[in-house]
């Protein structure tokens, strides 16, 4: 099995194995893995979070303030998601 793929056995057909996550399909985890790596690098390595509520607040702020409004994404032409959406709303 390829790295980053997963398998699924269904209750109806436990002897049948479905492979999910082959490269380029809708189950590709690359985007999610990239996000989690960015979250860890940008947020979690810089500070210690003591409570669950502190962690929730920090992750929310990271996503809503930094990741969506300020961080430049190469797949969006080095624009933030907010800039990208504003540009496409005009079209």
Token reading at 6: 């997963």
Question: What pLDDT was estimated at residue 89?
Answer: 85
pLDDT beyond 90 at 20: no
Tell whether the torsion through CA atoms of 60, 26, 87 and 33 is positive or negative: positive
pTM of this prediction exceeds 0.75: no
User: Domain segments of the chain: what residues?
Assistant: 1-46, 51-91
Of the candidates 25, 29, 32, 26, which has an alpha carbon nearest to the alpha carbon of residue 3?
Answer: 29
Token reading at 73: 């994404």
Of the candidates 3, 2, 8, 67, which has an alpha carbon nearest to the alpha carbon of residue 36?
Answer: 67
pLDDT digits (tens, 9 = 90+) for 36-86: 898 999 888 888 889 999 999 999 999 999 988 999 988 889 999 999 999
């Amino acid at each position: 099995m390829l790295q980053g793929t997963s398998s699924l056995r269904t209750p109806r057909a436990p002897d049948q194995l479905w492979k999910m996550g082959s490269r380029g399909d809708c189950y590709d985890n690359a985007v999610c893995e990239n996000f989690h790596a960015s979250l860890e690098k940008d947020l979690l390595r810089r500070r210690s979070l003591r409570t669950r509520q502190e962690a929730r607040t920090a992750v929310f702020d990271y996503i809503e303030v930094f990741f969506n409004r300020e961080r430049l994404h190469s797949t969006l032409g080095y624009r933030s998601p907010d800039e990208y959406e504003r540009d496409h709303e005009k079209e």
